[in-house]
Structure 1
């Protein structure tokens, strides 16, 4: 095994830092490399999770077991199923309260490459170093602004009821490569799916005022009922944007929901929205813009599934 440690000092209490690490399902909003986390099992301090994350220019997925120790301020992890070129990976988050206040955070990794290949070992070392530094920097920023976090993060969703089938709606949402022909606000779409169910997309959309907006995202198609995604390049007003398309059978047909979680970048608010703008203004701006595009997509998905010309319902 190859062992490596990364360390950072955070101006926040150990309990504050620990809480951010303990909730793995919030990592896609908190940590830049993480695309999505599914909790598969939980038994007291032990949990089993599946993680999708950006590693270099690829998206990797693996299953890990974690043991959370809030009293010892330690979270140990071990990849149960690794993706090549990683043969094995384990480690721990170790927190220590400092006498002068604050917390020392140590992120430990032990890893091995398939066949101990030197080239693959170098790749793992580079990705582990880059992602560890990014995660620790994210953790420091989050912990030190924890008091304002509830104001900076918002979650909202929009739902329409469709008299159609889950498969028709799911097909419309999954085949995003066809969106430029189906959605009026999508001008360009580059979509690749090298691994089944994992889509990397770059999209140009028109805003309400006619401006062009480019986004890059990773989408994970989990089932016929759920597609989750994370923007890997976000607008300057945000530090993170994750979302989910959810399709559910209901008495009147199918409920189709678009859910967004956004983290506002407070220092960008005056520059983007004006010197007198507030975080509340930024929240409303982000919600209006994202919800507007989602509603357009939902209504066109509804029209498609119900066999009507796109745009006939607004």
Structure 2
């Protein structure tokens, strides 16, 4: 850290939820992409209950940053200390603490403290880090507060949708279709337009216009992190459908001795206040769950079927005598 000056920020928010609920939300890093707006994906590397090491990808000031962090968890004191192993530029160090203070049976205060340095105290880098830390900290606390205050309904508002298809073809060709989103508009009936850029290898930022079952056109935005050697693509929607507060998921290609299983998984947090306006007066969470499940399953299955046709057609073309 040499002689770089340490910058410190501190933010706090009062939450109408028990301290244990709030602590639980920040303790499980694997759930952050669903509950913390800047978080795109967390890949856990080590965890023993009190020590946590993970790689995470986040949106920051219009871009995508990635780093490996270590955390020390103290459930008794409800504190979590964190430190980036190799900070994302332009930071030369980044760390801090989460703390949850009990204010009452169903009231608590969540505090987030950061300390960081920029190389050679560069004013531009310090200003960028301050701005990004401020923006992300406020977004994190606001969303965590909103989510924690739904604690009695959270199980009903969370939804996981999984679809899979069996494919008799090469895993590489299946992955090519899932990765090559720029070709989706010409092959998937529900995709009207799709713009994608890949400024960093394996990090796709995309905007998509898709058509719902009733013909309405909706625009969503996503960040996708691609792991070609593992046959995985994880994603986080940065602009969601009106009924959805948060949406993450994964495309995976799992080969075995006789072929490939391609799987689409979606994790969704529903927006309760939008249910009546979008599905009609009297609609409830159960109807919203069915509606979102059917919509996601319809589009996922169409995409998986496209990958199946592509891979199996190539096999037939290459087969001798065909």
TM-score w.r.t. length of structure 1:
0.95
* Contact 2:161/2:296 (8 A) holds in 1: no
- Say whether 1:66 aligns with 2:74: no
* Contact 1:73/1:94 (8 A) holds in 2: yes
Q: Secondary structure at the match of 2:152?
A: helix
Give the corresponding residue for 1:51. Answer: 56
Give the corresponding residue for 2:293. Answer: 287
**Post-superposition CA distance 1:258-308 (Å, at most 9, x none):** 000111111110011111100111111111111101111111110000117
Give the corresponding residue for 2:279. Answer: 273
- Say whether 1:299 aligns with 2:294: no
- Say whether 1:136 aligns with 2:136: no
CA 1:99–1:290: 2 relative to 1, 3 Å? closer
**Post-superposition CA distance 1:41-75 (Å, at most 9, x none):** 12341010111111010011111001111001100
Instruction: Give the deviation of 1:100 after TM superposition.
Output: 7.8
Q: Secondary structure at the match of 2:12?
A: strand
Whole-Å separation in 1 of the counterparts to 2:55 and 2:121:
25
Instruction: Give the deviation of 1:251 after TM superposition.
Output: 3.9
Q: Secondary structure at the match of 1:299?
A: helix
Aligned residues: CA RMSD: 1.4
Give the corresponding residue for 2:116. Answer: 111
Give the corresponding residue for 1:33. Answer: 38
Whole-Å separation in 1 of the counterparts to 2:77 and 2:92:
29
Name the stretch that deviates more: 109-118 or 240-249: 109-118
| Aligned match for 1:250, one of 224, 233, 256 | 256
Q: Secondary structure at the match of 2:313?
A: coil
Whole-Å separation in 2 of the counterparts to 1:105 and 1:131:
15
Instruction: Give the deviation of 1:176 after TM superposition.
Output: 0.9
Whole-Å separation in 1 of the counterparts to 2:18 and 2:269:
22
* Contact 1:97/1:103 (8 A) holds in 2: yes
Map 1:1-314 → 2, pairs under 5 A? 1-98=6-103, 102-224=107-229, 225-307=231-313
How many residues align structurally? 309
* Contact 1:161/1:252 (8 A) holds in 2: no
Whole-Å separation in 2 of the counterparts to 1:101 and 1:289:
36
**Post-superposition CA distance 1:163-208 (Å, at most 9, x none):** 1111111111111111112222222111000000100001112222
* Contact 2:93/2:117 (8 A) holds in 1: yes
Whole-Å separation in 2 of the counterparts to 1:244 and 1:147:
27
Whole-Å separation in 1 of the counterparts to 2:286 and 2:187:
33
Whole-Å separation in 2 of the counterparts to 1:298 and 1:100:
47
CA 1:284–1:99: 2 relative to 1, 3 Å? closer
> Is there any run of 5+ residues in structure 2 with no aligned partner, and where?
1-5, 316-322
Q: Secondary structure at the match of 2:282?
A: coil
Instruction: Give the deviation of 1:99 after TM superposition.
Output: 5.3
Q: Secondary structure at the match of 1:146?
A: coil
Q: Secondary structure at the match of 1:259?
A: strand
